[in-house]
Amino acid sequence: MSARGREEGGDGRQHREDPGHQARGGRRHGTFEKDDLDHPEELVAALKDAPGPTAGFGALTPAARRSWVLHLTQARQSATRISRLRKARAKILGGEGFNHR
């Protein structure tokens, strides 16, 4: 064990003060906000217009909300996003995420 390792904690490991750093395996894991994605305009409009999807979407877990946002934003055309949103309404109200089986 080097003298530097003993000075830093006695066990020879060097730990960083970075909150995204995990000492095990030297892998870095960042922290993300739970709702860090921009919601598509069609979803925002649907949530404002109808009370049903608002309650359903808000009741979803952050991962389920994220899965729906990703599904909707992958469509290039607005018409496709609207169609996907109409098809998803029952699942969203049922509390299911996009990948729910």
**In the prediction, which pLDDT does 93 show?**
80
Range ranked top by mean pLDDT from 9-13, 25-29, 33-37, 46-50: 46-50
Range ranked top by mean pLDDT from 2-6, 12-16, 84-88: 84-88
Q: Which residues contact 22 (CB under 8 A, 6 or more apart)?
A: 28, 29
> Can you tell me the distance from the alpha carbon of 56 to that of 6, in angstroms, rounded to the nearest whole number?
55
The predicted model scores a pTM of 0.60
Please report which helix (H) or strand (E) contains residue 100, including its range. Answer: none
The answer to whether 73 touches 40, Cβ cutoff 8 Å, is yes
> Can you tell me the distance from the alpha carbon of 87 to that of 81, in angstroms, rounded to the nearest whole number?
10
